[in-house]
Structure 1
Amino acid sequence: MRHDSRGWFSVASLDLPDRVLLSAVVLLPWAFGGIEIWAYRLAGLLAVVAATLRVGLATGPDWRLRRIRFLLVPAILLLALALLQLMPLPPSLLGRLSPKAHALYVTTFPGYATGQAGDPIAGLEAQALAQVPEVDGIPDPRAADEPLSTAVGGRWDGWRPVSLAPALTIERIFWYVPLLITFLMFHAGSRDAERRRVFQAVLFLNFLSLALFGLVFMAIGNDKLYWIRSTVQDTNPFGPYVNPTNFAAVMELAVPWVLAAAWSAHRLKRRSALPFPILLATGACCLLAGMLSGSRAAVVLMIAAIAAVALVVQQNRRTRLLLSAGFAGVAVSGSVLVALTGLGGRFARFFELGTGGLADVERLAAWRAAWTMLRDFPLTGAGIGAFREVFPIYAPAGGDARMRHLHNDYFEVVVETGWFGALLLVGLTFAFVWLAVSSSKRNLTANGLLIGLACLFVHAAVDFNHQIPANALLFVAAAGMVVSREQPE
């Protein structure tokens, strides 16, 4: 592939597997953020097809998993833990591993762990047969020597899994595999400079398209997706997303990444996939769209990300110290100004204009309830994906018992997988941070991407952006790119 002086790119450098996978990453945000089953299942299928083509065609970059093996180990163990949660266990063993799950099965399924017929349907069948005593004298056609018995075996007295929502756990596993494939393929492809440029260019143009669509959506004003489709109560669509916070998360990733690439292209004369004016316009549009989405966390994180990029681009240590002091002073002064004047109320009203998010007090109440839930499922968790089914038991009085996510991605994973899952999550996080920092040294664009990923990491502590399929797919694609080594600038 050739680049002219302006840095234009060509998708000709991508082979068929890359194009299939990149299409899934780019198109899923436009399908309502991928929150519907058909959307993320189709994206997952495309990821599996891309991996199959890569293996079958035996073309393109090799996987080279050795460097990221410490990252893959906890990731694969998490998958293994989810599979173990689906394994049916005898009541005696389940009672030791997860006493609360055993107790719930006992109270929910009559006859569980007793070996007796306790199924209500079975009881009705037995009562019906008892109303016809003549049935005892009718021989069973399958065993002529034995009379037909009225005994009906219980349906709930068998083995049960740790997961209290096995169907949802299976669904999560089927989605986890495409996410892992996407990470591996973007990691492999991004080691080639030309492929990496095309990946960046296509993603940057998609960021720009999403931002422009969000701005147009807000300017026209409508509470329907694509001005056509109504959403459920307590949501406020923004762009193609049902929730403006989830839209803002994409902008959090885009702003520092694109601005760092723009600086690299303009000041360092670094060859890029897109011309500097387009990069600058993309960064500005993403920043504006993210601000107008009304997400408090997104606004704060984007401002902090811009400050971080401004520090990273400085080569002089003294300049960095002065800028750091200046940013700290502005942050403190702004906080005092907002707290002591009427600006605080105005900001609060702006961020509460129908964002569909939880109030802080509701979020804290849900976290306290989830802590009680974790104490009941300390070792194995309630089952990956089972939070929405089990949380109503623990929901505080007056709270939202229909809460589908905990508004803290890390805490939700721990509640669903127990302390074993928590250890794996910590190991996965440390391995990723180490690889990402070591891979992005002395490369401004990679540092911008790392800052954007850090924004998503922080935001995940107060929201559920990683539970949105489009955001999760974009996150793992970007994560795969940042842990691939890049030439220093």
Structure 2
Amino acid sequence: MHLWVLLGFLVLLALTGGGSRADIPALVVLRPAAALALGFGLWFLTPEGARRYRFLLAYVSAVALVVAIQLVPLPPAIWQMFPGRAIAVEVDRAAGLTGLWRPLSLVPNQTWNALFSLLVPASVLLLCIGVQREQRFLVLPLLIGVGVISGVLGLMQVIGPPDGPLYFYRITNNGFAVGLFANRNHQAIYIACLFPMLAIYAASASERATLAQQRTRFWLCVGAGLLLLPLLLVAGSRLGLIVGVIGLVSIPMLYTPPSGRSSSLSSRRRWWYAAGSLVVVALGALTVFLSRGIAIQRLLSGNVGDDARVPLWQASMTMLGTYFPFGSGFGSFAEVYGIYESDGALQPTYGNHAHNELLEVALTGGVLGIVLMLVGVVAWALASWRVFRRPLREGRDVAFGRLASVVMLILGVSSVTDYPLRTPFLAGVLAIAAIWLCAGAFPSSSRTSKRSV
């Protein structure tokens, strides 16, 4: 039952969690479902599971606590002392409002939204902790299936009209391959994550599987990878192209032939990688030749100075100095940016995010936000170092741990110029990867004792 709850919630998440805005109607369904899933996971959380993944549970709790602290009402004598609150003081004075208690956040409703958004990754984390070890591996084919469906849907979107019914979100990148997402960058980022996923899935066939079954799985994964490569280029995301290279380069580090095929493939492995590289280059060249390699065309155009992110970053640096060390409040970027936006940067659209999570979290979360980021990065680096030191013969936990490290690296690199983890589905993928990485890097004492015997 626990497994079916997890898989069912992931399907719902894939269908409703592809956008990052706070006003998406699907959130009316997704967040109550996430709250129920969170309650389910807490009810069945065992002391062993809580002890095994205590760091992840403590980290999520710390994130929620830091966000909640920004919503506590404070007396005027305290909140008026915070840096950057002069404009709120002037507004209250002009409106004749005195003695108001205000929280640390300048935009409390958006900070409440940030707090509620944590329901999704927290529920996925608890559900993954609750399922059995072998059942946790069954999540991988579902994630791959979602990615392939999203990629094929993106291809149909490009072929069809820009404002056709295949776009599921009102505010989206019309005319581009966004798939199940609202943003083409997030579509491309997830496709990049699929390459290491396919490598592990091809190598993780059961020991009871026959040679024919192993070969079938291998060639299905190869076919899916060859299908996804042109879809990555069609998405038109320069960021997706960069992290896609990370995903492709990770394949030789992740894929190892199953035990039944190791002898037959070990001598030809280098030839497989050479042939695969030639196919990748050929598909990329063909896509560009057919004028659908939008990502490559945008990357080679070199118009970095004209990128809309540049004024966002410049203003964010100014704002960071203004609101440091307490921050402006999680989720408050769009409203606060309007105060500092220069006349030359004014456009019909608005800056919804800083397109750099390092900057935005530091700006909105202050010192506590920076500390949380540093703890997360250090924990990922330590766990990745441990999991890549462990030999693959110790079990599938190691292979899935290495996969999780690469997926988290892709999501982290993407966060330097975008905001993928503000999308509920990708936040859920991060939670799954965190479980895989923790299990691979820090084996349980029971499994260690069994190996020693």
Secondary structure (helix, strand or coil) at the match of 1:66 reads helix
Aligned to 1:165: 107
Alignment of 1:99 with 2:83, yes or no, is yes
1:477 to 1:312, Cα distance in 2 relative to 1, 3 A? closer
Q: 1:100 corresponds to which letter in structure 2?
A: G
Alignment of 1:438 with 2:386, yes or no, is yes
Rounded Cα–Cα distance in structure 2 between residues aligned with 1:51 and 1:233:
29
Aligned to 1:406: 354
Aligned to 1:145: none
1:196 to 1:234, Cα distance in 2 relative to 1, 3 A? closer
CA drift at 1:379: 1.7
After superposition, give the CA deviation of every residue in 1:368-422 in whole Å (9 maximum; x if it has no partner).
2101111111121100111111011122332257200111122211111012210
User: What aligned pairs does 1:383-422 form with structure 2 within 5 A after superposition?
Assistant: 383-400=329-346, 402-422=350-370
The answer for unaligned runs of 5 or more in structure 2 is: 258-265, 393-397, 449-453
1:174 to 1:366, Cα distance in 2 relative to 1, 3 A? same
**Alignment partner for residue 185 of structure 2, among 228, 235, 245?**
245
Aligned to 1:27: 12
Aligned to 1:424: 372
Rounded Cα–Cα distance in structure 1 between residues aligned with 2:72 and 2:371:
21
Aligned to 2:150: 210
Aligned to 2:160: 221
* Percent identical residues: 22
Aligned to 1:464: 419
1:208 to 1:448, Cα distance in 2 relative to 1, 3 A? same
Rounded Cα–Cα distance in structure 1 between residues aligned with 2:329 and 2:140:
36
After superposition, give the CA deviation of every residue in 1:455-479 in whole Å (9 maximum; x if it has no partner).
1111111111112222222322333
1:232 to 1:181, Cα distance in 2 relative to 1, 3 A? closer
1:225 to 1:430, Cα distance in 2 relative to 1, 3 A? farther
**Alignment partner for residue 25 of structure 2, among 38, 54, 64?**
38
Aligned to 2:126: 184
TM-score, normalising length: structure 1: 0.71
After superposition, give the CA deviation of every residue in 1:425-445 in whole Å (9 maximum; x if it has no partner).
211222234235535642334
Contact 2:17–2:30 (Cα < 8 Å) also in 1: no
Contact 1:309–1:448 (Cα < 8 Å) also in 2: no
TM-score, normalising length: structure 2: 0.76
Rounded Cα–Cα distance in structure 2 between residues aligned with 1:66 and 1:180:
16
Q: How many residues align?
A: 403
1:424 to 1:371, Cα distance in 2 relative to 1, 3 A? same
Rounded Cα–Cα distance in structure 1 between residues aligned with 2:402 and 2:27:
29
Q: Which has the higher helix share?
A: 2
Backbone CA RMSD of aligned residues? 3.8
The answer for unaligned runs of 5 or more in structure 1 is: 1-14, 112-117, 120-153
Contact 2:120–2:424 (Cα < 8 Å) also in 1: no
Tell which deviates more after alignment, 406-415 or 280-289: 280-289
After superposition, give the CA deviation of every residue in 1:67-95 in whole Å (9 maximum; x if it has no partner).
43334434322221211111111222123
Aligned to 1:275: 217
Rounded Cα–Cα distance in structure 1 between residues aligned with 2:294 and 2:144:
31
1:231 to 1:173, Cα distance in 2 relative to 1, 3 A? closer
1:454 to 1:387, Cα distance in 2 relative to 1, 3 A? same
1:230 to 1:472, Cα distance in 2 relative to 1, 3 A? closer
Rounded Cα–Cα distance in structure 2 between residues aligned with 1:225 and 1:473:
28
User: What aligned pairs does 1:1-400 form with structure 2 within 5 A after superposition?
Assistant: 15=1, 17-31=2-16, 33-35=18-20, 36-56=23-43, 58=44, 64-96=49-81, 98-101=82-85, 103-110=86-93, 118-119=95-96, 154=97, 156-189=98-131, 192-193=133-134, 195-218=135-158, 220-224=159-163, 226-227=165-166, 231-232=170-171, 235-238=174-177, 239-265=179-205, 275-313=217-255, 351-352=297-298, 361-400=307-346
